[in-house]
Structure 1
């Protein structure tokens, strides 16, 4: 007897695409990783924000500090519900870190968003894909992949990806705001 898949509806706010994809664009030659913030209810996941974490090095201490800072600022109804990643090459260092972070989130619906470069009409664009880590859960995304690209295209032209601040940059200069509120 086949086990029936549990369907989860996933709503992704535009700000999530903006922060995650601009982070990937700024550090296009490096792996990047960030966290996804939101709410998970019975059959619905709402991803409302993203925080860029790292683009080069990750140590356990800086990871713990960054997660503590973010967790302390979250509203009661929001929590860390997943990870986004973009690989610059096949090294996959961030993927291992992302997998460990997802295990520690300790939710069967933990979200992994993979950002990759694809070609459309011979032009490279970014694509964000939600990947299910739980073989019994199927995600139904409530947005289109075209939306993901168009949400950031004008911001790329304006050079806003150069302003993205992740925790790597914040730890080097604490005056830099890792919240990236200028994108809202």
Structure 2
């Protein structure tokens, strides 16, 4: 079992843009990684995220629709669903609930190193330099907190600066989650435009 989780700057930025777009809501999303060859256990290297829901994160039929679409997207891009992230509604509530545990446990059936990242709302500052996550992984079929797990953000200072710039220019309002997509299917849940802005920033 890997003892760390690596986020590239795109995945880090998109999680925070989702959180800042809906600071009053519980929200969630999926973590995507490059598909690995062989069975060697490596730190999950998260290269992208898919923002899911902010209206009702526990609505099972909509979750199944989203997972099916994202799985098809991953197969086409040689990616794998490697985990799940969630931010709770309450500022002081940082623990996973039944929904986050069940979804992560389901992901772990297909990706053994699946992780759950809980956003620590009370450590999240508007300047985004102190964004923090608690990491859970699946052991014996159950999601459990792992003190040995650490989150590494590639180029953390640059990633924080890019996120701050995007927030200052209100780009978080352009982020599309599955709730937005289901309201208007013309909206792109892969967020290609936002990803391009992240790549071109700085």
Instruction: Give your verdict on TM over 0.5.
Output: yes
Richer in strand (by share) = 1
For 1:31 and 1:48, the matched residues in 2 are separated by 23
How big is the shift at 1:183? 2.1
Q: Deviations over 1:23-45 (max 9, x none)?
A: 11000000110000004652232
Residues 154/87 of structure 1: CA separation in 2 closer, same or farther (3 Å cut): same
| Residue 128 (structure 1) aligned with residue 132 (structure 2) | yes
Is the CA contact (8 Å cut-off) linking 1:33 and 1:86 kept in structure 2? Answer: yes
For 1:155 and 1:124, the matched residues in 2 are separated by 11
How big is the shift at 1:141? 3.8
1:3 corresponds in structure 2 to: none
Secondary structure of residue in 1 paired with 2:52? strand
Residues 31/119 of structure 1: CA separation in 2 closer, same or farther (3 Å cut): closer
Is the CA contact (8 Å cut-off) linking 1:7 and 1:137 kept in structure 2? Answer: no
1:102 corresponds in structure 2 to: 104
2:7 corresponds in structure 1 to: 12
Unaligned runs of 5+ in 1: 1-5
Q: TM-score, normalised by structure 2?
A: 0.75
How many residue pairs match? The answer is 177
For 1:7 and 1:93, the matched residues in 2 are separated by 21
Is the CA contact (8 Å cut-off) linking 2:133 and 2:151 kept in structure 1? Answer: no
For 1:94 and 1:53, the matched residues in 2 are separated by 16
Name which of 135, 139, 160 aligns with 2:171.
Answer: 160
Q: TM-score, normalised by structure 1?
A: 0.81
Is the CA contact (8 Å cut-off) linking 2:135 and 2:150 kept in structure 1? Answer: no
Q: Deviations over 1:19-77 (max 9, x none)?
A: 11101100000011000000465223210110000001142111100110010011464
Residues 138/162 of structure 1: CA separation in 2 closer, same or farther (3 Å cut): same
For 1:100 and 1:43, the matched residues in 2 are separated by 23
1:47 corresponds in structure 2 to: 46
Q: In angstroms, what is the RMSD of aligned CA positions?
A: 2.8
| Residue 114 (structure 1) aligned with residue 118 (structure 2) | yes
Secondary structure of residue in 2 paired with 1:54? coil
2:31 corresponds in structure 1 to: 36
For 1:119 and 1:64, the matched residues in 2 are separated by 30
Residues 176/94 of structure 1: CA separation in 2 closer, same or farther (3 Å cut): farther
1:88 corresponds in structure 2 to: 89
